[in-house]
A and B are shown apart, each in its own frame.
Chain A
């Protein structure tokens, strides 16, 4: 019996068998050991692939991916990284499953029984590590399913192989960590705690600067969803995959180090560990490097002066300007605008432009986002901030609509809301309602209180997009279920929240809509369309004048003024921010 519990090798008697025996015996013992490892690895891989825990992790990972990308624009430079977040969840399950597998012998009090087998503990651990390949099918299935879903929804850009491969390596790394934990701590709680540690280190690390990439898979600190195009080195997919590979090797070495006892094996593991540590540190250093200034200059130019990068086309006398690669959005943007134009008696003199913009906090336009601008001197960052002050959307133009890049939904109810927002913005341009700059939102959007043009704009948007009546009606109630008051020049009115208003599909929101305007527009939709069109066409110039009231329009249409929901007690006199009146 050897120290590890295996049978005594015949090589110990090699001195009596002659000089030819040791080499041949060494080869013969290596071959069965390799076969043993492969056979055990195959068995463990099948168990892992069939594990209910891994299946549950796969389903949960798919759900996470859908939650992250289901409502957003399918941009591959963003989606690829979000698939990794789903791989993180799958990795947590694989970690727990691998820990259960590695600790099976000790947990079932069969350590002595296993020690009597020919396969040593080191052999079994190696087999466990090799058996982690059983998690690869689940990981690849997750990637394939997500990629298919994204492509069906009309993906923009191309996937990054390095980022997607990094997700697979993450799952294997989590499994290796689970094996290392299970070899030392067979209790199942250790696997659960390991999975939680993996989750917390990835989603809750809040690391500064480029260090966000050092966590296994960061999920909330990047800006990928607002970029107008892929940015080289953001994220550092290749380096991150290398870091994860290094961590995988280190975890495997730790697991083996706990189970092998021979000096030469431990020496080899130490050397491999040093090499793996070097690779991991090098990959980490690469990830911490700041992004090239040239790349950031190009990004700032795209954001601050989109005309220099966008491609424009004109349809129905409306100019559409989109970033490269976003051409597939054109039909989706045209549809609501054309729906409004089809019912317009007359157009304003200034033509309408639809220009994509990047979502930036224009109340504080800064490029000090740690994950993008880290490592660059403050002077350079200040220059970029100055450039951003001139970005479109910071000072909204009356004849320009700014759909936000990365926020336009692909399908579903969100797309319907986005269409309504676009139609309403086009209608507000048509009736000369002024847009609101994002900076002015803090001070209060202007409100077209008791102005007929507001009702006309809402009516045009409803005709163009046909939203569900229930969704429009629900805008009368605020988040708490009560009506929301809005104070305009000392007069308290009831506000109306249109579908998608809170989703920021457009960079510059329009005026604050009122319940009176919506209710009158709703009443107009109950009239024959020709009748309303005739009334509007006869005196279009008068209807778009801000002095013309809702009562005038209702009288011209021959309908009574709809009753507005009453304000809650005390709301009429409650102090609050004042909204200016929309004039001009």
Chain B
């Protein structure tokens, strides 16, 4: 009995296939870094600016209208800022999106580069929105009012945590079967998580002031931010489906040539 190699015979003029496996694509892991500046324009163009600005402006407009009609009789507080920032958080859930992921995963550039870049571009917009809303409520406080206004840093921590939760939800949805809906699922999910964190007594004791202290709220929300960003990084990775020109995978039939093919 003649044993035949399962490989086709090289009948052309092409060089014979090497028996050694292809060296790991180390140079491909670093080459995308050189392409990053070229990607910046593409990332900027694919960022959903209209969606993001619509959310930010909707909340800011609501706060402005509230300040105009009620701020004279009743100064606005940080609670109003929390409500006004919700549209921006919802809009943020639509930002991180890896387009054509099955295709981009085959390129040398990791698929997470695009959504990460979009988030970096969105961060200044959100920061500006928060700043504008804080200025609006500051204008409604009478100049000679008694007592100091509450500290802003716990509020900033809380809004940062909200944004991180929205981003994590968006990243997870983008890797799920609902990826085509994207933010339509992530936005309500993140708003629901925020509402739960606010109203459930167990979480409210840590994340809401009162009953928690300002320092405690700040630490808790930054911990939530860290956890959410970790989850985001884990969800954005594409190592599971990374294309690899490993001959080990190609040569898997050579390992067991006598294994019969089983039909279902």
Contacts and interface: CB of A to CB of B under 8 A. Distances in A.
A56 B192 contact: yes
B83 A193 contact: no
A206 B188 CA distance: 25
Interface stretch (A171-179, A184-192, A251-259, A560-568): A184-192
Interface string B79-105: 000010011001100100000000000
**DSSP class of B's interface residues: helix, strand, loop or mixed?**
helix
Interface range on chain A (Cβ under 8 Å from partner) = 10 to 19
A556 interface: no
A60 interface: yes
B181 interface: yes
A192 B187 contact: yes
Contacts, number: 48
Contacts of B211: 479
B184 A193 contact: no
A322 B205 CA distance: 37
B70 interface: yes
A187 B182 CA distance: 11
Given A189-B94, A200-B83, A56 B55 contact: no
Interface string A53-64: 100100010000
B54 A60 contact: no
Interface in B192-237: 192, 195, 199, 211
A479 B209 CA distance: 13
Nearest to B178: A52
B167 to A, nearest CB: 15
Contacts of B58: 193, 196
A174 B91 CA distance: 21
Q: In terms of DSSP, what is the predominant structure of the interface of chain A?
A: helix
A172 B90 CA distance: 24
B62 interface: yes
A168 interface: no
A192 B91 CA distance: 9
B183 interface: yes
Interface of A: 53, 56, 60, 67, 93, 96, 100, 187-189, 191-193, 195-196, 200, 204, 206, 479
24 contacts: A56-B188, A60-B195, A93-B188, A96-B184, A96-B188, A187-B51, A188-B94, A188-B181, A188-B187, A189-B55, A189-B90, A189-B94, A189-B183, A189-B187, A192-B184, A192-B191, A193-B54, A193-B55, A193-B58, A195-B188, A196-B58, A200-B83, A204-B83, A206-B74
Interface of B: 51, 54-55, 58, 62, 70, 74, 83, 86-87, 90-91, 94, 181-184, 187-188, 191-192, 195, 199, 211
Contacts of B55: 189, 193
A196 B90 contact: yes
B259 to A, nearest CB: 44
B95 to A, nearest CB: 11
Given A56-B192, A60-B192, A67-B199, A189 B54 contact: yes
B86 A196 contact: yes
Contacts of A193: 54-55, 58, 87, 90
A187 B192 CA distance: 20
A531 to B, nearest CB: 41
Contacts of A96: 184, 188
Nearest to B59: A196
A107 to B, nearest CB: 9
B119 to A, nearest CB: 17
Given A56-B188, A188-B181, 7 more contacts: A187-B51, A188-B183, A189-B183, A192-B90, A192-B184, A193-B87, A200-B62
Closest 4 CB pairs of A and B: A188-B184, A192-B90, A192-B187, A189-B51
